[in-house]
Structure 1
Amino acid sequence: MTPVALVLWCIAVLLGVSILAVMMARWSRATAVIYGASFCVSAVAFVTVLLQLTAASASAPLPLVLPLGLPWLGAHFRLDALAAFFLVVINLGGAAASFYGLGYGRHETAPQRLLPFFPAFLAGMNLVILAADAFTFLLSWEFMSLVSWALVMTHHRERDTRMAAYIYLVMASFGTMALLLAFGLLAGASGSYDFATMRMATHTPAVAAFVLTLMLIGAGSKAGLVPLHVWLPLAHPAAPSHVSALMSGVMTKVAIYGFIRVVFDLLGEPAWWWSMVVLTLGGVTAVVGILNALMEQDLKRLLAYSTIENIGIIFVSLGLALAFEANAMTWAAALALAAALFHVLNHSFFKSLLFFGAGAILTATGERDMDKLGGLIHRMPFTSFAFLVGSVAISALPPFNGFVSEWLVFQAILQSPNLPQWGLKIMVPAVGGLLALSAALAAACFVKAFGVAFLGRPRTLAAQLAQEVDRFSLTAMFVFATLCLFAGVLPGIVIDALAPVTFTLVGDRMPVQTSVPWLSIVPITESRSSYNGLLVFVFIALSASLAAYIVHRFASRSLRRAPAWDCGFPEASPQTQYTSGSFAQPVRRVFGTHLFRARESVEMPAPGDPEPARFTLDLRDLIWEGLYEPIAGAVWFTAERLNHLQFLTIRRYLSLVFLALVFLLLVLALWS
């Protein structure tokens, strides 16, 4: 059996498991059966595509055509190196989320609303990646969107959840419409919807630019590009935590796959100015995402906004790859594309880990508000350690994986002086500055997240009574923590595995990394730059161990415990600790005045007045208020004006149908 056929069988089994979940929804053992089956199927698919990726050859695999879909087209499925890589991300994330669900799912209040859609969600994401024609791709894409919407609606009795699901559905439909138009332009007048024919077609510069714009809208709305990101910080926190991990760590990568498949594979040779558009959107997305994350006190919303930042980093790398490819600098294009794909993999690791940690906190305390947590490092030591690993990794600090992929992005940025266009010579360093700013803010953001949630003293009784979570959840978290360390210490193995993908898309690859002495990675040549994650890890481990030994051996032979310094006020309340808002205040005062229209007001009572002082903070979402509220108002206004069309006579209805038919025939005549 071929690998593509085996993965299709895995998808069929997942859909069967979804049907089984409907039939056994009321059975007490349904959670274990459904998540266990999803884990096994995802694990089989993961091993299959991983072997296919590592054994990828230069020859293009033949598509598998099934008699499904449109009668004259059929359903085309193809497993090339690019599809194999993204299927690795999807099925590893799916297996981990399923295993996590074996423990987390026991606490779910409405499993019958969740279990039927979970395996279907995994199947939908796999189908999108395997699709090799526009009809199958769009059908799978819409199926994935609708199933994920149903997962967001799991806790449908909460008003915020219903609003989040509604906005997500609207944005998903808008994105699908953009993708439909993009594939229509790629198919052209011939109407050839299979990717192989699209790949051979040629397009005018205007059509190619329009397709790029539509892909930025369609894929960008699903990935979370600014300003199409508004659904993401609403929908991701509303879903159950292991579903949030899938949506944030995996589903956004399906959108990135769609963008890469069309722009790098089907659209043909890029124009250099395309990269300026992608670079600008990526840089703005990275900074806006992490600034919003810094302002948040809801832990899951913070993680959702952080996803937007990482999507921006990936699109910056893709923009660099387009710039280099347009100027025939294939070696630099391979570096930038490898950096983007490496960050896709890394983000799936540490973002899934962090959402699992947030789910563990929610299970133990019932709280997502960081200002109601604190001191969890003593009550949940294993969760706190795993969350700390994820926080260090997402902050791009060595020796973990986030540092390596972002370091590769900056290595690609340093090649920008070789570009001939002055616009790119100016744009790329400016975007590099935005990435450096977002990296620094990301470190501050996750110092806040870990410090406020896990350190200090418990702020509420729920945090004080928290207990460690189940072994399934802990195992899933520690697997991803180990992968974060592995990809950071031995990145050369990952880079070499990505070589077939970069060679297929840009015709070049990075130098073979596993043959470099001391397991270093060399993006271009040793004379320019290199990095050795293993030596950095050994140095950090030895220096930290030596420092700890010296302190405990020579500084003091006895353990002394004393209360924290209370500034002269005995029995200080835990509420006097730093909160998430106070931690972010310096950054808010620098950036918030213009980006969030931040307004602070303090009501200080007169001397002798027993009333408490009050501090009020007002933050506004300018993108929502400036873009989406006017659109919603215009739609509502238009709907009210067109409402009388429901009460026309049959004669007028027939006249409208006739005029619409004439208009469509004119469009078809002009098009052909």
Structure 2
Amino acid sequence: MAAVDVSVLLAACLLVLGPLAVVLQRQPWLSAVVYAVAALLCAGFALVGLVALAGPASGSALVLPIGLPWIGAHLRLDLLSSFFLVVLGLGGSITSLYAIGYGRHEHAPLRVLAFYPPFLGAMALVLLADDAYTFLLSWEVMSLLSWALVLTHHREEDTRTAGYVYLVMAGFGTMALLLAFGLLAGADGGYGFDAMRGAVRSPLIVAVVLGLMLLGAGSKAGLAPLHVWLPLAHPAAPSHVSALMSGVMTKVALYGFIRVVFDLLGPLEWWAAPVVIFLGAATAVLGILLAMMETDIKRALAYSTIENIGVIFAALGLALAFRANGLTAAAALAFSAALFHIFNHMAFKSLLFMGAGAVLNATGLRDLDRLGGLIHRMPVTAFLMLVGVLAISALPPLNGFASEWLLFQAVLMSPGIPQSGLQLMIPAAGGGLALAAALAAAAFVRIYGVGFLGRARSDAAGSAVEVDRFSLTAMGILAAICVLAGIFPGVVLDAMAPVVQAVIGGRLPVQANESLFTIVPIAEARSSYNGFLVFIFVAFCASAASWAVHRFASRQLRRAPAWDCGFPDASTMTQYSAGGMAQPLRRVLGSTLLAARERVEMPEPGDRRPARLVVRVADLVWQVIYLPISGLVGAVATRMDRLQFLTIRLYLSLVFGLLILLLIGLMLWQ
């Protein structure tokens, strides 16, 4: 049986598993069994993808007698889809393992079980689709199922708002993709991907398709200014669904962008790169600034997802620029950095959302200013979260540093580009990405320090207990991936090399030939990095420092009061708060980029109410773009409401006028 046949069979099993859960809804073992089966099926995806990456480059294809008449549903598993199938398989299987324990806390588990397995199957079909109809149908099913999962706790007003915004953005993105594939198919209606690859298009059509893909795939991935649904949907959804949406679904959106822009459109001219680079860098800075200001731990992680999506888009833009100028080695470096960061983000962001879910289950809280001291109550979760925080902060020797280091090596290759505009723009974008990396470290020091260190800021945090073993095992696997992919990045780069070769036409040198697990992206004279030696150095220094302290320090026990920041009161209110840690950056950058405003509410003399510092931070994209559009739509809808009171004669006149306009449009199109 071919690899694509196995993949389709696994996807079909996932699609059937949801309705089966509805039939068996009263069984007490249902939740654990559904998640366990989903984990096994997703592990099958990962295995099929790995085998396909190691096999022949041609891939395998399948045509099913469903879909459009006389065309059918074309499915194909090539090297690019195989890589993303591995990402889906690993992320889906580990998240499903986590859900076995997390799902016990759901008050209405069937609201998740009915849609969770089909959601995984729909994402797999997006990766396997080889024609426009199958791709769009699978994409829309994926969107609707994820929307249903976001609405799991639909009785809460914030959840309903999140579901509405997500549905609108998903519909807008699907419409953009529909138009993009319509232009790719052309007047001949070549809906198969093979026909699209061979078509000849004008520069105008290429530019429009690129813009539509940025709108369609970018809205699902979280590219600014289309990111507004993420910080609403991720906190509303159950934590294992948030991990899946952030760690996997956004990668499926990136796959759609790569499939069209790097494959179906063919080699693009250099002018296509600047807009992708600029949007990526701007998205990275905006996302991490918003994460720095947020006190809801899940919302902060959602904003961090926006930042990482921006990093990946910037890397893809660099790959477009290098490939357009025939710099194959540099293009392979940038594209490898993008794929590596896609894999890494799946690992550490899924880990962090699972950790946030563990905290939510243990305390019932998401507000950082009501947590604290969890390192004493939940030591295993605290350690695993620390691994995720270090990884997403791009600190060596973990995997986040390895992929971002590759990206900056690609930025340093920009002097070889002949266009002066790109020579100026790419270093500027690199500076923005460096700023985003620094802000990411600050943001996650704040999240971990306020949430896990210090003293408990509420009774719920003070009485928290460690979560179940299924959740800890899943988080432990992801933490191990973060460590191993950072120490041995050459293994991952060599595994991705066939994908880079198939898409870019070149690849990085074989990293297995380097000694001591060193990675050399271009040439050793330019740069090299050895995560294994960095790990040995960090472990040795930490062990030596610990030994020195225990060997030479006094063994006498001494007790002293903790530093109270100048306040003798032992209240937990004297600790640094999340807002207090964000204040310097809020005042330096937030006042301009986030419209941050501070106001002191001082009560009148004799009023016993305490003085308050009120801080307001807004997403300017929401205020400047979406609120005016929402108001305009409301005003137009109010005016159009009069149409329901027209006479039959006026209705027929409107239909006739629209028909005439449609015929004129068709005549001009021909």
**TM bucket by the smaller chain?**
over 0.9
Hey, what's the Cα distance between the residues in 2 that align with 1:385 and 1:302? 19
Partner residue in 2 for 1:422? 420
Hey, what's the Cα distance between the residues in 2 that align with 1:580 and 1:565? 18
Which stretch has the larger CA shift, 328-337 or 645-654? 645-654
Give 1:655's match in structure 2, choosing from 635, 653, 656: 653
Hey, what's the Cα distance between the residues in 1 that align with 2:583 and 2:621? 21
Partner residue in 2 for 1:376? 374
How much does 1:559 deviate?
4.6
Which stretch has the larger CA shift, 60-69 or 138-147? 60-69
Hey, what's the Cα distance between the residues in 1 that align with 2:88 and 2:392? 19
How much does 1:570 deviate?
4.5
Residues 567 and 161 of structure 1: CA distance in aligned 2, closer, same or farther (over 3 Å): closer
How much does 1:108 deviate?
0.5
Hey, what's the Cα distance between the residues in 2 that align with 1:568 and 1:543? 34
Partner residue in 2 for 1:225? 223
Tell me, which stretches of 5 or more residues in structure 1 are unaligned? none
How much does 1:19 deviate?
1.1
Hey, what's the Cα distance between the residues in 2 that align with 1:606 and 1:662? 69
Hey, what's the Cα distance between the residues in 1 that align with 2:119 and 2:557? 52
Q: Is the 8 A contact 1:496 1:514 kept in 2?
A: yes
Is 1:23 the counterpart of 2:37? The answer is no
Is 1:498 the counterpart of 2:527? The answer is no
Partner residue in 2 for 1:94? 92
SS of the residue 2:481 aligns to: helix
Partner residue in 2 for 1:252? 250
Hey, what's the Cα distance between the residues in 1 that align with 2:61 and 2:567? 73
Give 1:325's match in structure 2, choosing from 323, 326, 332: 323
SS of the residue 2:63 aligns to: strand
Is 1:291 the counterpart of 2:289? The answer is yes
SS of the residue 1:457 aligns to: coil
Residues 148 and 568 of structure 1: CA distance in aligned 2, closer, same or farther (over 3 Å): closer
Partner residue in 1 for 2:50? 50
Hey, what's the Cα distance between the residues in 2 that align with 1:196 and 1:343? 29
How much does 1:609 deviate?
6.3
Aligned letter for 1:510? L
Aligned letter for 2:527? S
How much does 1:600 deviate?
1.1
Q: Is the 8 A contact 1:353 1:387 kept in 2?
A: yes
Partner residue in 2 for 1:312? 310
How much does 1:619 deviate?
1.7
How much does 1:573 deviate?
0.2
Is 1:107 the counterpart of 2:98? The answer is no
Partner residue in 2 for 1:531? 529
Give 2:364's match in structure 1, choosing from 349, 363, 366: 366
Aligned letter for 2:211? T
Aligned letter for 2:146? S
SS of the residue 1:78 aligns to: strand
What pairs with 1:553-592 in structure 2 (closer than 5 Å)? 553-566=551-564, 570-592=568-590
| Post-superposition CA distance 1:50-73 (Å, at most 9, x none) | 1111x1434x22421110101121
SS of the residue 1:601 aligns to: strand
How much does 1:640 deviate?
1.4
Between Structure 1 and Structure 2, how many residues are aligned?
670
Aligned letter for 1:13? C
Hey, what's the Cα distance between the residues in 2 that align with 1:169 and 1:469? 33
Partner residue in 2 for 1:625? 623
Aligned letter for 2:6? L
How much does 1:524 deviate?
0.1
How much does 1:283 deviate?
0.6
Aligned letter for 1:47? L
Partner residue in 2 for 1:665? 663
Aligned letter for 2:289? L
Q: Is the 8 A contact 1:26 1:112 kept in 2?
A: no
Q: Is the 8 A contact 2:290 2:619 kept in 1?
A: no
Q: CA RMSD in A?
A: 1.3
Is 1:165 the counterpart of 2:163? The answer is yes
| Post-superposition CA distance 1:175-203 (Å, at most 9, x none) | 00000000000000000100010011111
Q: Is the 8 A contact 2:565 2:574 kept in 1?
A: no
Q: Is the 8 A contact 2:379 2:466 kept in 1?
A: yes
How much does 1:47 deviate?
1.0
What pairs with 1:83-162 in structure 2 (closer than 5 Å)? 83-162=81-160
Aligned letter for 2:198? M
Which stretch has the larger CA shift, 570-579 or 490-499? 570-579
| Post-superposition CA distance 1:262-299 (Å, at most 9, x none) | 00000012111111000110010000000000000000
SS of the residue 1:190 aligns to: coil
Aligned letter for 1:350? F
What pairs with 1:181-580 in structure 2 (closer than 5 Å)? 181-566=179-564, 570-580=568-578
Partner residue in 2 for 1:14? 14
Q: Is the 8 A contact 2:351 2:388 kept in 1?
A: yes
Tell me, which stretches of 5 or more residues in structure 2 are unaligned? none
How much does 1:558 deviate?
4.2
Which stretch has the larger CA shift, 122-131 or 600-609? 600-609
How much does 1:605 deviate?
5.2
Hey, what's the Cα distance between the residues in 1 that align with 2:221 and 2:609? 48
Partner residue in 2 for 1:72? 70
Hey, what's the Cα distance between the residues in 2 that align with 1:61 and 1:663? 46
Q: Is the 8 A contact 2:296 2:367 kept in 1?
A: yes
Hey, what's the Cα distance between the residues in 2 that align with 1:593 and 1:570? 33
SS of the residue 2:570 aligns to: coil
TM-score by length of 1: 0.98
Q: Is the 8 A contact 2:369 2:457 kept in 1?
A: yes
How much does 1:566 deviate?
3.7
Q: Is the 8 A contact 1:202 1:268 kept in 2?
A: no
Hey, what's the Cα distance between the residues in 2 that align with 1:64 and 1:658? 45
Hey, what's the Cα distance between the residues in 1 that align with 2:563 and 2:450? 19
TM-score by length of 2: 0.98
